[in-house]
Amino acid sequence: MESGAPAAGGFTSVVSRRSRRKRRAGGEQPAGAAMDTAEPRPCKRPAFPPVAAEALGVGKGELRKIPVPANRYTPLKENWMKIFTPIVEHLQLQIRFNLKTRNVEIKTCQETKDLSALTKAADFVKAFILGFQVEDALALIRLDDLFLESFEVTDVKPLKGDHLSRAIGRIAGKGGKTKFTIENVTRTRIVLADTKIHILGSFQNIKMARTAICNLILGSPPSKVYGNIRAVASRAAERF
Amino acid sequence: MFRFRRRDTTARKRGGQSSAGGTPVCGTPVCGTPVCGTLAAAAEPAGPERGAAAEAEPGPRVRGAMAAVPGLPGLPGLPALPGIQGIRTCLRVAGAAAARPECFLSVQDGLAADFRAMTKTLYDLNKGSNIVRGGPLKELVIEKFDEEQIWQQLELQNNAVLDFFKKSIARDAEDEDLCLLSDQEEDGSDAEASSDKELEDNIMEAETEQINVYTKDEEKAKTKAKEKQSKLRESIMQKYSDEDSDIDFDIEALEQQAKTAKETTLRKKGRKSVVDDKFFKLAEMEAFLEHAEKEEKEKEEEEEDDINYFEDIISDDDKDLEEAKVKPIKSSRDMTYKDFFDPVDDDGDDDLVANDAEEDQEEEADSAIEEQNEGSMSEFEDMDEMVEHMRSKEASKKVTFNVPDDSETEDVAEGQLEKGISPSEVKSSFEKRQEKMSKKIKSLEEALLEEKPWQLKGEVTGQKRPENSLLEETVLFDHAVRMAPVITEETTFQLEDLIKQRILDEAWDDVVPKEKPKEEAFDYKKRISLDHEKSKLSLAEIYEQEYMKLHQQKTEEEENPEHKEIQEMMDSLFQKLDALCNFHFTPKPPVPEIKIVSNLPAISMEEVAPVAVSDAALLAPEEIKEKNKAGDVKTDAEKTPTDKKRELRRKKLRKRMKRKEKEKRQKLLEKMKPEQGTKLSKKAAAAKLKRLTKEGKASLLKDEGKDKALKSSQAFFSQLQDQVRMQIKDASKLKKKQKKEKAISVHKLKL
């Protein structure tokens, strides 16, 4: 589009976009233009300037809050150094424990390079709060494909009273023997919190552990469960 | 178009052919000579058998002429006129010829000459009377002229008088005093054979009439002219069709047939049905429907026909003009009842009947003729019927749909006639396309409205479709089972090629025997052992280790070759030094020279065992010897019969194997070293002994059972006692006998 003839003669002068933008930037009004002087004609395509590198990474101070139950308060205090060191040093996040709300708050800052760091940190803290050891929970930060699964004993089979207690006892075993065996064979970590069960590990391993625990809940003896998980685990190990 | 074609090509040809001396192509009584049209005009009213109706057309002149002919049957005494004698003779000749139509089956040269003369006479007669201004020729020349030339002369004449005929027809058509002769007579005269020229002239007349008809737009003229025309055409077409179809049929018989048919139908159609009333007639409705069907059929045929380049376009316009009769003078708002309908008149019943009768006769004649002459006639018949239809409608009908009033358009029509021909004659291609399109659309719409064939209906059971109709259909359906492969020559060739190739490649499909995998000791140890303790490593570390193992498997520990050399050199050096100091040294722990990199789990590696102990000692008893399938070891008392039998079987098997081995070895030995072989084998020894005994070199010691008794001491001593007693007895006996016999055989002494 070329700028047209002046208004004389009834012709509307059509101004080129580029020139219009320049004028707008410069704050001038096109001289002798027949168009509306009130507002410039809107562009059809929105113009986005190239995104700044900083903007891509992290939003402006995203915040995650993880509530802490009372029973985990003391362990949190004891392991605070171990918790906050990898978060701050490796993930470059800001972490604090809000005493009033009893929340662990994690926030991104300008040094944060990776947007997924916040999620990892939140998961790590959550895992610790659930009952896992710090070293075990640390695996969540180090490895991408670890997951956390939780379910209840009563989800598997509706048990009440003594039956429920016996089921929990079966899962745990004498001195935690059965639980450790399952952990060792399937390379997972299990937290048995009364009726809640939390499993931490990779997807396949979680599945194996879950099957074993469900079998125990449903009533099969531990030796049988050992045999099964052993067979499954050996097959899985052979595959890789 | 058809008609004209005929006239142009076939008629002339035929005329030419037949008059050239050849036999007439068909058996119809056709004379080859051209006869002047005036003969026909003159002749026809004379006799009831005469051909088509030109009776009204030549007008009063001929009538007068006819009237003048005396002695002719059916006519009053007429004043004598010049040339009447000629006419009379002509008539006589023609009548005589026509009286015996069977003569025309063969060439009649004499008659041909007569007819030619007649033609000349009539032509000259015509020329003589100055009523009609004719063509340039003063007289018809027939000497040494062939038919073609005579025809051309006549044509010149005819073209000239065309106009006159047109006008006279128009005038006569308007003239109400003239009445038409009865149909019966006319049809009868139609049916009779007449000369070819007569036909041609009929056609000419028809043509002129037709032209009058088509160019004018008046119905009355049309109707009457058309009626005549129809008669003409019928006769013409009948005869032409006869010629063309080469069918030999009796015209008189036909004529009779037509008459009878007419009479019957007359009665039938004249009958009033129950539903008839002032406005509606069942017979009319039927007639209309028939007409519509024929029109449709004709339309179809018309579409199929190719364009005839020689036809006059009038015929095309014919229908259009007839159909598009609409010339609305009033606007649609001003139309009233009387524009559409005739005034309601109760007295018109008789006329109606009469008209009906007439119409019926006409229709019947048409239909009768149509039956005979199909296809080619349809066009004509349609037009005829249409003509009659229109005529009957307009003639004192109660309810008609005459949109344009006759009175109004009559005068206008004439003026429009001359103008009307040219633009409507030639249709633009666009119009033609439009017509075709509209026809197609119509047909498609009708097809859509009709009931669909059973193939297009949804689910059709056996009752809903005709019997065995599915056999003619190709039905597609899915095959649930894979079809068996068709074995053709090509497939066999392919197979053979494949087989040959396999043989050359030696790629047999032999069955590989399966082996039971034997579990080794290491595999046994490799199995995951359960650890009931809490793991010392955290999850992260476990995964770390796994990761490292996975990624570091590739990088094997490669010792520097230089290090190896150095190590070897050092070893040898130290060995020598130790030797120097007399082997007083503490031996260094036996480091295995071969480094075994084992991929065992850590638990197996961590076993606390002395390094010098061999792996065999480390193995568990089960790893060394497999457990008995039967289970634990049993004493004889514990063994069940199956166990015993099993053991026996095993033993036998072992023995058998041993024996076989031995024999094999023996055989081998015999082959290799024969002497040693014989020493050892039992068979060979027995054979040797037998040989020796036979020869007498050796003798077998017989066992007299003495040895058996020596098993126990009592037996021994008793035997000894017996022996001694026997000896004593013998000795005493011997003393006695010694004297008698001294010959003792050797054999007896043998012990």
- Say whether both A115 and A189 belong to one domain: no
User: CA angle, A78 as apex, A73 and A83 as ends, to 5°?
Assistant: 90
The DSSP annotation for B598-616 comes to ----HHHHT----TTS-HH
- Say whether both A76 and A122 belong to one domain: yes
CA distance B41 to B61: 11
pTM above 0.95, yes or no: no
Q: Do A183 and B535 touch (CB under 8 A)?
A: yes
The per-type count for chain B, helices as H runs and strands as E runs, is 31, 0
Residue A176 with chain B: CB contacts under 8 Å: 534
Domain extent for A113: 59-144
Query: Of A85, A84, A87, which Cα lies nearest the Cα of A117?
Result: A87
CA distance A174 to A179: 9
pLDDT of residue A53: 60
Mutate to test the interface with A, among B536, B537, B539 (most CBs of A within 10 A): B539
pLDDT of residue A152: 95
Q: Which of A109, A144, A179 is the last residue of a domain?
A: A144
- Say whether both A73 and A109 belong to one domain: yes
Query: Of B308, B305, B250, which Cα lies nearest the Cα of B102?
Result: B250
Helix or strand run (H / E) with residue A66: strand A63-67
SS3 (DSSP) at A151 = strand
Rounded to an integer, the average pLDDT of B221-232 is 52
Residue A90 with chain B: CB contacts under 8 Å: none
The answer to whether B746 faces chain A, any CB pair under 8 Å, is no
The answer to whether B585 faces chain A, any CB pair under 8 Å, is no
Residue A151 included in any domain: yes
Q: Do A180 and B534 touch (CB under 8 A)?
A: yes
Q: Which of B532, B542, B544 sits opposite A181 (nearest CB)?
A: B532
CA distance A15 to chain B (A): 52
Residue A2 included in any domain: no
pLDDT of residue B552: 77
pLDDT of residue B527: 63
Q: With beta carbons less than 8 A apart as the criterion, state whether B623 and B524 touch.
A: yes
| CATH code of the domain containing A177 | 3.30.1370.10
The answer to whether A176 faces chain B, any CB pair under 8 Å, is yes
CA distance A196 to A148: 13
- Say whether both A103 and A151 belong to one domain: no
Mutate to test the interface with B, among A183, A184, A185, A234 (most CBs of B within 10 A): A184
- Say whether both A109 and A158 belong to one domain: no
pLDDT of residue B42: 46
Cα nearest neighbour of B545 on chain A:
A187
pLDDT of residue B446: 93
Q: Which of A139, A183, A230 sits opposite B543 (nearest CB)?
A: A139
The CA–CA distances, whole Å, from B501 to A71, B453, B498 equal: 79, 57, 5
Name beta bridge partners: A67: A103
Q: Do B539 and A184 touch (CB under 8 A)?
A: no
Q: Do B540 and A142 touch (CB under 8 A)?
A: yes
Domain count within chain A? 2
Q: Do A189 and B534 touch (CB under 8 A)?
A: no
- Say whether both A191 and A212 belong to one domain: yes
Residue A85 included in any domain: yes
- Say whether both A126 and A154 belong to one domain: no
Residue B539 with chain A: CB contacts under 8 Å: 135-136, 139, 146, 187-189, 200-201
Residue A45 included in any domain: no
pLDDT of residue B529: 72
Q: Which of B532, B540, B550 sits opposite A139 (nearest CB)?
A: B540
Q: Which of A144, A163, A189 is the last residue of a domain?
A: A144
SS3 (DSSP) at A192 = strand
- Say whether both A138 and A172 belong to one domain: no
Query: Of B257, B237, B273, which Cα lies nearest the Cα of B364?
Result: B257
Q: What is the pLDDT of residues A17-70, one digit of tens each?
A: 666 666 565 544 444 444 445 455 666 888 888 776 666 655 677 899 999 999
pLDDT of residue B62: 44
* Mean of per-residue pLDDT scores for chain B: 69
Rounded to an integer, the average pLDDT of B715-740 is 86
Its ipTM equals: 0.71
Helix or strand run (H / E) with residue B492: helix B489-505
Q: Do A136 and B539 touch (CB under 8 A)?
A: yes
The answer to whether B531 faces chain A, any CB pair under 8 Å, is yes
Residue A13 included in any domain: no
The answer to whether B533 faces chain A, any CB pair under 8 Å, is yes
Q: What is the pLDDT of residues B323-376, one digit of tens each?
A: 444 455 667 778 888 888 887 765 444 444 444 445 555 555 555 555 555 544
> What percentage of chain B carries pLDDT values higher than 90?
11
CA distance B268 to B246: 34
Q: Do B543 and A177 touch (CB under 8 A)?
A: no
Q: Do B530 and A142 touch (CB under 8 A)?
A: no
Task: Of A166-175, B94-103, B496-505, give the lowest mean pLDDT range.
Answer: B94-103
Query: For residues B132, B137, B142 and B147, what is the CA-based torsion angle, rounded to 10 degrees?
Result: -80
Q: Do B531 and A187 touch (CB under 8 A)?
A: no
- Say whether both A163 and A220 belong to one domain: yes
SS3 (DSSP) at B52 = coil
pLDDT of residue B695: 84
Instruction: Report the phi/psi class of residue B336: left, alpha or beta, with left for phi > 0 and alpha for psi in -120 to 50.
Output: beta
The answer to whether A224 faces chain B, any CB pair under 8 Å, is no
Residue B524 with chain A: CB contacts under 8 Å: none
Q: What is the pLDDT of residues B588-627, one digit of tens each?
A: 677 666 666 666 655 555 666 666 666 656 666 776 677 7
Q: Do A185 and B530 touch (CB under 8 A)?
A: yes
CA distance B470 to chain A (A): 60
Residue B531 with chain A: CB contacts under 8 Å: 180-181, 184
Helix or strand run (H / E) with residue A94: strand A93-98
B442, pLDDT greater than 70: yes
- Say whether both A153 and A102 belong to one domain: no
- Say whether both A205 and A235 belong to one domain: yes
Helix or strand run (H / E) with residue B185: helix B183-191
pLDDT of residue B59: 43
User: CA angle, B153 as apex, B151 and B159 as ends, to 5°?
Assistant: 95
Q: Do B527 and A234 touch (CB under 8 A)?
A: yes
The answer to whether A182 faces chain B, any CB pair under 8 Å, is no
Residue A189 with chain B: CB contacts under 8 Å: 539
Residue A233 with chain B: CB contacts under 8 Å: 528
Q: Which of A135, A201, A230 sits opposite B530 (nearest CB)?
A: A230
Structure tokens at A169: 């006892």
Q: What is the pLDDT of residues A76-132, one digit of tens each?
A: 999 999 998 999 999 999 999 999 999 999 999 888 888 888 999 999 999 999 999
Q: Which of residues 434-453 of B touch A (CB under 8 A)?
A: none
Q: What is the band of B140 on the pLDDT scale with cuts at 50, 70, 90?
A: confident
Residue A158 included in any domain: yes
Residue A188 with chain B: CB contacts under 8 Å: 539
Q: Do B543 and A143 touch (CB under 8 A)?
A: yes
Q: Do B530 and A139 touch (CB under 8 A)?
A: no
Q: Which of A99, A118, A144 is the last residue of a domain?
A: A144
- Say whether both A76 and A123 belong to one domain: yes
Sequence letter at residue B170: A
Residue A76 included in any domain: yes
Residue A227 with chain B: CB contacts under 8 Å: none
Q: What is the pLDDT of residues A181-191, one digit of tens each?
A: 999 989 999 99
Q: Do B534 and A176 touch (CB under 8 A)?
A: yes
Residue A18 included in any domain: no
B193, pLDDT greater than 60: no
